[in-house]
Each structure stands twice: as structure tokens, then as C-alpha cells.
């Protein structure tokens, strides 16, 4: 597979091999974003946990 990558997006690319398949992942982001990627992931996790009925203070015995 001799695919030529765009040098402008090459820095925003990584590869991940799962089994016999190699994935090329290209990512982009808005430089004017109001939150960092970490903040966004945390917000999404909290929202998903709330939808699933999971609380921070809930402890399973």
C-alpha cells in the first residue's frame, strides 16, 4: 500500500493495528475551541454516566 499522505495533515495522523487490519486515523480540531479535548471527553463521560443512571457517589457492594 504505497499511499502518499498530504504533508499538511501528516502530523495529525496515527496508525493503529487491530488484528490483521491497520487503520490510519486522521484527526483535526478547531483551534478556537472553547474547551480542550480532555474537557470534552470528561463532559461526554459524565453525560453518558448520567444517562445510564450512574452517580459519582454510588458504591456497589
C-alpha cell of residue 34:
472553547
Calculate the alpha carbon distances from 4 to 1, 8, 12, 19 in Å: 9, 12, 15, 24
Radius of gyration (C-alpha) of the chain in whole angstroms: 18
Confidence of residue 18 (pLDDT cuts 50, 70, 90): very high
C-alpha cell of residue 56:
459519582
Tens of pLDDT, residue by residue over 20-49, are 999 999 888 788 999 988 999 999 999 999
Amino acid at each position: 500500500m504505497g499511499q502518499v499522505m498530504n504533508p499538511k495533515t501528516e502530523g495529525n495522523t496515527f496508525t493503529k493495528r487491530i488484528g490483521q487490519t491497520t487503520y490510519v486515523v486522521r484527526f483535526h480540531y478547531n483551534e478556537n475551541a472553547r474547551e480542550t479535548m480532555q474537557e470534552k471527553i470528561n463532559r461526554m463521560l459524565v453525560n453518558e454516566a448520567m444517562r445510564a443512571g450512574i452517580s459519582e457517589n454510588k458504591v456497589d457492594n
